[in-house]
Structures are given as structure tokens and as C-alpha cells.
Amino acid sequence: MFNTILYEIKDSVAWITLNRPEKLNSFNEAMHTELQEALQSAENDKNIRAIVLTGAGRAFSAGQDLSEVDNSTDYGGLLRSRYNPIIQKMSEIGKPIIAAVNGTAAGAGFSLALAADFRLVSEKASFLNAFVHIGLVPDSGNTYYLPRIVGHAKALELMVLGEKVSATEAERLGLVTKVITAEDWEREVSAFAGRLASMPTKAIGLMKEGLIRSWNSSLENVLEGEANAQSLAGLSGDHLEGVQSFLEKRKPLFTGD
Ligand code: LHQ
């Protein structure tokens, strides 16, 4: 179905692999369209309860395919029509999204990893806010997520200096959920995705929504948002199961309902 990505479903997890390894999984138009379609499909499928986004070969993604743009390209238009809908969609999907950062994440590839809910990072991976090296500014949500994750000063430093950040340094900065050795990579990513896919999916979706809302809201609005979210979570089958399993002193079996 897809030419530039791979889309597989295994045990309630959608695996989306950016698949232009010879170009370090940089984004051309087809890859944008296909990633948008894959995310939509993972959102619509009730049986999918976690999404893994990764790259084929030695890179996660090197951002925009620079051989596809020139000074006749409308950069703002390109962002509005291709990148921004992906970043927006990732925040709206009510399921956990894991960036399995297998290798270099540069430019908008870094932004994509930042927009995920979790970053599992290979010991071989690195992050690079490459924009400054070609006289551009960080985009695709980079200026939103990066300061929220590492703080204003560090974000500015990474943006302006554009230095490569190793997996270890990224972990120190709080960019990383976990650094994983090459040897354990597939097993650990699958196990983590499986763990998330067996959790109360609706509650996770409401947490994502609430956190984003909190950045732009007063305490009063946040409290009201939490109350609304709790009303919804409280009506879920997984809440019922959570309480029942607690009282029966057994492990809960969440279904995402
Ligand atoms: C590439 C790319 C690439 C094409 C490696 N494109 N071929 C939004 C709106 C509008 C316009 C512009 O952009 C944006 C968003 C953005 O993402 S802007 C930032 C774009 N990305 C970059 O500036 C990163 C460019 N790449 C690099 O700096 C390096 O390739 C990194 C640090 C990612 C990896 O370095 P190396 O491991 O040394 O690999 P390499 O440079 O040798 O690359 C391997 C091949 O991949 C090579 O092709 P070749 O035919 O010589 O083997 C590169 O040309 C190609 N490639 N990135 N973005």
C-alpha cells in the first residue's frame, strides 16, 4: 500500500517505519502523505492501542529532503500543508505514540521525535537541531516541545549552536524515556510498546489532552478540564476493571474500552 513507509500491526501496536534509508529517511512529499494516512489509520482502528514510529537503516529521519526544495519553494506553505498536520495529529491521537529513535534524528526528524509521547533511544542515536546550519529556524513544533522538555535556555542553546547531542547527553537533558543498547533494541521497544498497549488507553488519551491544555490555561480552567476528563475516565470499562481487579487482588486486564 505504501512506498515510503512500512505499516504493520502486531498485538494491538501499529508500527510505522520511515523507509527511505538511502536518504536517511528524509521527508519527500510521498512520505508526508503516507505518514498522515498511517497515523489516521492507527487513530481510527479501535484495536490499536499504541503507535511506534521508527526509521529503517541507520537514521530515524534527517528531516526535509533538501534535494526536493529550492528557493522557489514556499517553505511556510510546505510546513502548513505537510509537517504541521502530522505534528497536530500526533498530539490529538488519544493513544500513546513512541518514537523509537534508532539513529540520527535531525531537523524536522528531531521535531517529529519531540512530538511523540515517549522517546526510546538507541545508544547509537543522536539528535541534531540542524536548521541553523542551513540558515533556517526550527519548525514542526520544535519551538513548542523542546523548551517544555529541556527548558528555555537549553532549548535556545540547541537551536542556535546546532550541536549533535548523543543518546547519553539526551538522556541527561530529559529528552529520553530510555536509552537502549543495540543488542536489546527490538526486544525492549516491543516490550515497552506492548506494555503501553495493555494500559487503560482512554485514560492515556485524556492525560495527553490535559497536559497540552495545561500549558495554555489558568488553574481554574485546568481544574475544570481535569474534572471533565475524570468524568469520562470514570465511565470507562477500564476504570471498572481497575477497581474490580484491585478489590479482587488480581492484575487488571485493560481492554481500552
Ligand atoms: C539527505 C538528507 C536530507 C536529502 C542526509 N535531504 N538527503 C521545513 C520546511 C521547508 C524547508 C526546509 O526544511 C524543513 C524542515 C527541515 O527538516 S530543515 C533541516 C533539513 N535537514 C538537515 O539539514 C539535515 C541534513 N543532513 C545532515 O546534516 C546529515 O546528513 C546528518 C547529520 C543527518 C547525517 O550525517 P552523516 O551520518 O554524515 O550522513 P551523510 O550526510 O553522509 O548522509 C547520507 C546520505 O543521506 C547522503 O547522500 P549520499 O548520496 O551522499 O549518500 C546525504 O546527502 C543524504 N541526506 N540528509 N535532509
Q: Which long-range contacts (CB under 8 A, 24 or more apart) does 209-212 make?
A: 209/94, 212/91
Using CA positions, which residue lies closest to atom 45 of ligand 1?
Answer: 23
Q: What is the predicted pLDDT for the residue at 225?
A: 97
* Assigned CATH topology for domain 201-248: Lyase 2-enoyl-coa Hydratase; Chain  A, domain 2 (1.10.12)
> pLDDT value at position 199?
98
AA identity, residue 197: A
Q: Which residues line ligand 1 (CB under 6 A)?
A: 23-24, 26, 62-67, 69, 75, 78-79, 104, 106-108, 128, 130-131, 134, 136, 139
Mean pLDDT of the chain: 97
The residues, ordered by sequence, that sit 6+ positions from 86 with a Cβ below 8 Å of its Cβ are 32, 35, 36, 39, 112, 115, 140
User: Which strand (E) or helix (H) includes residue 100?
Assistant: strand 97-101
Name 55's bridge partners: 18
Please give the pLDDT value at position 1. 85
Number of the ligand 1 atom closest to the C-alpha atom of 24: 46
What residue's CA is closest to ligand 1, atom 14?
64
Amino acid identity, position 177: T
Q: What is the CA radius of gyration of the chain?
A: 19
Sequential pLDDT tens for the chain (257 residues):
899 999 999 999 999 999 999 999 999 999 999 999 999 999 999 999 999 999 999 999 999 999 999 989 999 999 999 999 999 999 999 999 999 999 999 999 999 999 999 999 999 999 999 999 999 999 999 999 999 999 999 999 999 999 999 999 999 999 999 999 999 999 999 999 999 999 999 999 999 999 999 998 999 999 999 999 999 999 999 999 999 999 999 999 999 99
Q: Which CATH entry fits the domain spanning 5-197: 3.90.226.10, 2.60.120.10, 3.40.140.10, 3.40.50.970?
A: 3.90.226.10
pTM of this structure: 0.97
In angstroms, the Cα distances linking 206 to 93, 117, 213, 231, 234 are 10, 13, 10, 11, 11
Q: From ligand 1's centre to the CA of 52, what distance in Å?
A: 23
Residue closest via CA to ligand 1's atom 29 equals 62
Kind and range of the H or E run holding 168: helix 167-173
Of ligand 1's atoms, which has the minimum distance to the CA of residue 65?
6
Beta carbons of 91 and 115 less than 8 angstroms apart: yes
Evaluate whether 255 touches 237 at the Cβ level (below 8 Å).
Answer: yes
Measure the CA–CA gap between 38 and 16, rounded to whole angstroms: 7
State the cell numbers at 100.
Answer: 523509537
Every domain of the chain and the residues it spans: 5-197, 201-248
